Structure 1
Amino acid sequence: MSERVLTPRHRGFLFLDSHPAGCARLVADMWQACPGAAELPEGEGPVALIMGSSAGYGLAATVAGLKRAGIRGIAVSYEKAPSGRRTATAGWYRTAATADLARAAGRDLVFLNGDAFSDLMKDQVAELIEQRFGGRLDYLIHSVAAPRRTDPDTGTTYASVLKPIGRANRTRTLVFDEQGVPEVREVETGPAEGDDVEQTVAVMGGADWERWIDHLAGRGLLGEGFATAALSYIGSPLTAAIYRQGTIGAAKLHLEATARTLNERLGRTVGGRAVTSVNGAAVTQSSTAVPGIALYTGLLRGVLGEDMVPPVRQFASLWDQLTGAAPLVPDEEGRIRLDGWELADDVQAAVAERWEAATTGTVAGLADLDWFCAEVRRLYGFSVPGVDYSAAVATDVPWPGR
């Protein structure tokens, strides 16, 4: 087993290695932060399928589902194993830690590593539901963020882009130099061209979510009352041009339209429902790639402090609504809104005021930069309280067995 001392090496917000002990402690901390716990006998509990279970909102959905709703079932992600001097991806280590929590809680959760867009994975999941979980699926959470998707029918590979629609967008964003000194920098992103919108919708819209439902329904695996949720984001007017009104926003609109179609169909066939869950802001590996989001999130934390609602608490609320522990009240577009704390008028007014005042010289007093930088490092298992980073750690952590 390979053991070594790991130090954070990175290029911007992208880290080259991940820390196994830090990732494990992070998952344990999420478990502790999730309120309440389901009291169900071992071997019981609803059967759930979580897509994109190793990172961000999908990880929060998995941890909250285990603790709050007592789920069992299948979690799917796509991660890289340790190789030579490189560690595994952070999601690999987080998955191993989540599997440990599931076992300790007496929950039968199977972790699969592979391409969620492929029909091979859909077949593998369907067979597991049939053979291991009694042929009935109760819930599906779809949280897949990927740069590319290959259509299994045509073999065409689509690539998503982060671009505004109609005209170029100029915004401020937050960067850090090698010494961690912050800079507020103006960046311009050119508009979508050609089939950029269609390509992004093909990757990040509702096509694969609907394909999963088709596949599982075709094999008779959707239980009576089956419910499914796909994850979405609206965000602030400050970031709307590059996000909600851009190519990613077009994909989210397609996702939400898909939810309405699926909701009508599931209600008719199994008495079920489909919704999108609009979550609040968080520092994730996906969000740090969006121009302006780093600055916005740091300023939001500067306004709200500890009143920011972490993803695992957001998903405790979502699971309560999906399982009937709390009323499920969608908005007029059929969306479950978990972002009210972020988009409250007074909060957005305060963030907008700080946004206008933010420069390289003033940003440290307006945004919680220490918190933001630590959150980025924690995505890779660094800067997690309670971890001894001077100690050697085993990096050859195996993928959870069945």
Structure 2
Amino acid sequence: MQQITPKQRGYLIVNSHPTGSAAGVEELWGSIAPAAPAGRAPVVLVLGSSAGYGLAILVAGLRRLGVRGVGVGFEAAANERRTATAGWYRTAATAGLVEQAGGDFTFVNADAYADATRAEVLGVLAEHYGPVDYLVYSLASPRRTDPATGEVHHSVIKPVGAAYTSPSLLFPDGLPEVGAVDLAPADEAERAATVKVMGGEDWRLWVQALADADLLAEGFTTAALSYVGSEITAPVYRQGTIGAAKEHLEDTAGRLQRDVLGDRGRAFTVVAGAAVTQASTAIPSIALYTSLLRSVLGADGWRTTADQAVDLWEQLSGAKAPVLDERGRIRLDGWELDADVQDGVRKLWADPAAALAADPDAPAWFYNQFRQLYGWDVPGVDYSVEAEAVVPWPARRR
């Protein structure tokens, strides 16, 4: 037991709070209305189940469909110097809620890019769950080791073709102010490395491994998370190195359908809406854009990751028809890219300092959401109380 206080450097908090992280999962769980599952509980594999959209999709699947299966995250345990990562504590809390609900889910802590992890997960599926109905791919990482060559590739967040200068949102001493970001363009090696990490190569390896192991259920569906976003942030996102990776991911859906699945299943990319996640806060100017978007939409217009996850499951499960664009991508971002909404954000972007001053609740909301990613500033948590930093990873199903 120890008193835990945040150790923060800009948009990075190097420790997390176990009680706050657990409370965040409980809030997510409670925000999704349960449904009475009909028929056999689907088997799902969620890659990236400890944070962001992956966690929201897992929890929504548990609450709405009673899913069974495996979630993979890559988190660090507590040691003498630091707490465990927030994803470690979130996974432990999720497993506790699954157990209370009488569910059946296994959590694997391992590098999802590694062949050894694929072998381990396929073994768990074959022994305990059987063929997979849904594979959700929601991985974000600064690096990936190519399992074929052993080469380590590092992703970068840079524009492509031209330098990028933009206003940005800073929080010195926790108070919002507008700064600036200047990024040099990526070279071809950096762009290619980012595609290697964040593109669709690993997604294809997972689907192919399931197919080779005869672990594709009839009507198998796989979905990989993507993002398009606003033209305001396009130079650093959709037109940048990350955008190149997302293009590769989206093209992979077609290749999976043609070369691997055929009539055995479906492969989609899912264009989600804006969200405050550990991945998104690392992207320059996204914090400011998200705050201004929240200012335009307000609390009632904002679609949380839980809202979007429920919508996604309804589309994947056939409860309602998929909302597809001309490229066959499932779209969950209509609320964000509505023309009137984007016009509103564009007007605020013209003078962001004045926009923040006029609506200080918006940047305060963003800062609170960012801190909650690490278990801080969660309502109802008494941070003056000592907490147990050493929490066991959920036991394997036997």
Cα shift readout 1:261-316 (whole Å, capped 9, x = no counterpart) = 2123455241x100011111111111111110000011111111112100011011
The one-letter amino acid of 1:115's match is: D
Alignment of 1:75-154 (within 5 A): 75-134=71-130, 136-154=131-149
Q: CA deviation at 1:235?
A: 0.5
1:289 to 272, 279, 282: 282
2:24 to 18, 22, 26: 26
The one-letter amino acid of 1:282's match is: A
Q: State the SS of the aligned residue for 1:39.
A: coil
* 8 Å CA contact retained: 1:161, 1:196: yes
Alignment of 1:133-282 (within 5 A): 133-134=129-130, 136-177=131-172, 179-265=173-259, 268-270=262-264, 272-282=265-275
* 8 Å CA contact retained: 2:43, 2:132: yes
* 8 Å CA contact retained: 1:167, 1:191: yes
* 8 Å CA contact retained: 1:35, 1:313: no
Distance in 1 separating the partners of 2:154 and 2:82: 27
The one-letter amino acid of 1:343's match is: L
TM-score computed with the length of structure 1 as normaliser: 0.95
Distance in 2 separating the partners of 1:92 and 1:373: 22
2:309 to 283, 308, 315: 315
Q: Provide the residue aligned with 2:9 in structure 1.
A: 11
Q: CA deviation at 1:85?
A: 3.5
Q: Provide the residue aligned with 2:368 in structure 1.
A: 374
Q: CA deviation at 1:37?
A: 2.2
1:300 to 290, 293, 296: 293
* 8 Å CA contact retained: 1:264, 1:273: no
Q: State the SS of the aligned residue for 2:174.
A: coil
Root-mean-square deviation (Å): 1.3
* 8 Å CA contact retained: 1:77, 1:114: yes
Q: CA deviation at 1:334?
A: 1.2
2:356 to 363, 377, 381: 363
Distance in 1 separating the partners of 2:339 and 2:191: 31
Distance in 2 separating the partners of 1:268 and 1:301: 41
* 8 Å CA contact retained: 2:292, 2:355: no
Distance in 2 separating the partners of 1:362 and 1:214: 49
The one-letter amino acid of 2:372's match is: R
TM-score computed with the length of structure 2 as normaliser: 0.96
Q: State the SS of the aligned residue for 1:393.
A: coil
* 8 Å CA contact retained: 1:40, 1:70: no
* 8 Å CA contact retained: 2:348, 2:355: no
* 8 Å CA contact retained: 2:166, 2:285: yes
Query: Percent identity between the aligned chains?
Result: 52
Q: CA deviation at 1:36?
A: 3.7
Q: State the SS of the aligned residue for 2:102.
A: coil
Q: CA deviation at 1:365?
A: 1.9
The one-letter amino acid of 1:116's match is: A
* 8 Å CA contact retained: 1:175, 1:185: yes
Kindly indicate whether residue 30 of structure 2 is the aligned counterpart of residue 37 of structure 1: no
Distance in 2 separating the partners of 1:141 and 1:242: 26
Count of residue correspondences = 394
Distance in 2 separating the partners of 1:28 and 1:150: 34
